[in-house]
Amino acid sequence: MSESEVKHSLRVKGRLLSASEIERTLVRLAHEVVEKSNGCEGMVLVGIKRRGVPLAQRLASLISTIEKCPVETGTLDIQFYRDDLSTADIRPVVTPGAIGCDITGKDVVLCDDVLYTGRTIRAALDALFDHGRPRRVQLAVLIDRGHRELPIQATYVGRHVPTSSREIIEVKFHEVDNDEQVLLVERVD
């Protein structure tokens, strides 16, 4: 099915967050991270490709402003760690420094836009530990929509949005989509 055909089979049910609501949510999350972590010393925010990356960068910028100290960010590509995609028999090749920062002994806040089944986060944890051994790993997500298939829970949640299995959360960030909002869409048969 082409991308245009997919778009026609989805119906927008409503906007969950506007650009200003996303910004306010990120400010709140940044304060929560600082409070729970007692500052930002030894902290690294790692975004899961695609939309977790701008989320991590924005949170790091906000935390740096709050704490008046720099916060490192990294990018994690998990495509070869997914268990719900067909894979070859070989393990993924890890390129040293591919995250963009050292995570060994650090407090890592893993960032993603939507938490759903937990499979993306499981894959991200596998990928993360192939790059080093963090002291602690926490999870920050903009939206938690439920429907977990694995025992994974976010430490920091922007908004809980109960959804049906037919519904999809679409997060749009300027950095990726040239748009800024969170939509609830539904599959139309």
For position 178, what pLDDT does the model report?
Answer: 96
For position 82, what pLDDT does the model report?
Answer: 72
pTM for this prediction = 0.89
Q: Which tokens sit at 93?
A: 């090749």
For position 5, what pLDDT does the model report?
Answer: 46
Quick check: 22 and 170 in contact, CB under 8 A?
Answer: no
Q: Do you find a cis peptide bond into 50, omega within 30 degrees of 0?
A: yes
Please give the average pLDDT of every successive group of 10 residues along the chain, which has 189 residues: 56 97 98 95 96 98 97 93 60 67 96 97 95 97 96 98 95 97 93
* Nearest alpha-carbon partner for 124 in 159, 150, 90: 150
For position 189, what pLDDT does the model report?
Answer: 78
* Nearest alpha-carbon partner for 184 in 154, 160, 161: 161
Instruction: Give the C-alpha separation, 144 to 141, whole Å.
Output: 7
